Chains A and B, each alone.
Chain A
Amino acid sequence: MDESARIPYSRYLMVWFALVVFTGITIMVAGLQVGGWSVFAAIFIAAIKGTLVLFYFMHLRYESMLFKVALMVAMLTLAVIMALTFADVSFR
């Protein structure tokens, strides 16, 4: 985090504000009763919020490539596991 040592407080506050706004949006969208889209919307918004926390609060943005690649490998592994599981469950 060396080059990020002096990130201004205001940036953290802005990220926090964005997280609160997205929380509000996800609750509102859930109340809209848009059927199958509500699952998609919930996952999409949660992914945005998770990315904000990972990149700004957890400083992933300021870390070297190694950290990002490690996370990507874990995420791709997860995607494969999930795809294979659903391929199994759906066509049983």
Chain B
Amino acid sequence: MTAAVLPHMEEHHDAEGSRFGMWLFLLTEILLFAGVFLLYAVYRYQFPEDFHYGATTLHTLLGAVNTLILLTSSLTMVLSIAKLVRGERRGAVAMLGATIAMGLAFLVIKVFEWGDKISHGIYPGSETVMDRTAGENIFYGLYFGMTGLHALHVIIGLGVLVFMAVKISKKPRKTVRLGAPGNVALSLAGADGSKLWEGEADEGVDGVEVSLTYAHNEELQEREVTQLENAGLYWHLVDVIWIFLFPFLYLIT
């Protein structure tokens, strides 16, 4: 049986269109964060002293460490794609694992940072913050809002990466279904053309489903590369947003 007899094998796969769809989604994410950045910029313009003071109370070292962690996780992310392109599935999964580990480390540090602020009574709507000036109140509100929205994206990104790691760990697999034949004769061919197994059925057959597990399959690998690239695009965008968040919140004093 040749591939030509299985018309459903020729599925359309548009890698560039898929990536462009992801980019369009990312552009909406950029606009979402840009709105919050604009809010930050306007209030910073109105309360320069309070924002200056607020930034000095944030832990710059933890922010810097988290920046390095995210930058490095972006590197392992792109290396994971590069490995999968070269057909090194294990290497791709290992690099994904490193990316996931760094994403978790980022979140752990974030929890400590928030925990420290909250233990000092600084959180949106707390008595300590409400007693301070309007500008400081807004600064801490933006700090928790912006880093919180970003952390939410890190969590979602981690979910996507775990999904991809599990998917790539499994062998490439494809299921083909042929509908409603009258009767069916099946055989499995060995390497030398011999028949390893055959069977026949002519009553009550509604379809034939073939599940193939490949040692290697170019087309399936291309699909996985596209999926991993889109997952990577999301992860990198989260990194880009942090690249802007870090100096704005922690550094500009």
Interface residues of A (CB under 8 A from B): 1-2, 5-7, 9, 12-13, 15-16, 19-20, 23, 26-27, 30, 38-39, 42-43, 45-46, 49-50, 53-54, 56-59, 63-64, 66-67, 70-71, 74, 77-78, 81-82, 85-86, 89-90
CB distance from B75 to the nearest CB of A (A): 4
Q: Which of B205-253 contact A (CB under 8 A)?
A: 229, 232-233, 236-237, 239-240, 243-244, 246-248, 251-253
Residues of B within 8 A of A (CB): 15-16, 19-20, 23-24, 27, 30-31, 34, 38, 41-42, 45-46, 60, 64, 67-68, 71-72, 74-75, 77-79, 82, 85-86, 229, 232-233, 236-237, 239-240, 243-244, 246-248, 251-253
Task: State whether A16 touches B27 (Cβ < 8 A).
Answer: no
CB pair B252 A71 closer than 8 Å: no
Given the known interface contacts A38-B252, A71-B23, the answer about A12 and B79 at a Cβ–Cβ threshold of 8 Å is: yes
Question: Which residue from B67, B79, B85, B240 sits with its C-beta under 8 Å from A23?
Answer: B67
CA distance A20 to B113 in the complex (A): 22
Are A49 and B27 neighbours in the complex by a CB distance under 8 Å?
no
B30 and A74 form a contact (CB under 8 A): yes
Q: A23-B71, A38-B253 are in contact. Are A57 and B30 (CB under 8 A)?
A: no
29 contacts between A and B (CB under 8 A): A1-B19, A5-B85, A6-B86, A7-B82, A13-B75, A19-B71, A23-B71, A26-B251, A27-B64, A39-B252, A42-B251, A46-B244, A54-B236, A58-B236, A58-B237, A59-B229, A63-B19, A67-B19, A67-B20, A70-B23, A71-B23, A78-B30, A78-B34, A81-B34, A85-B38, A86-B42, A89-B42, A89-B45, A90-B45
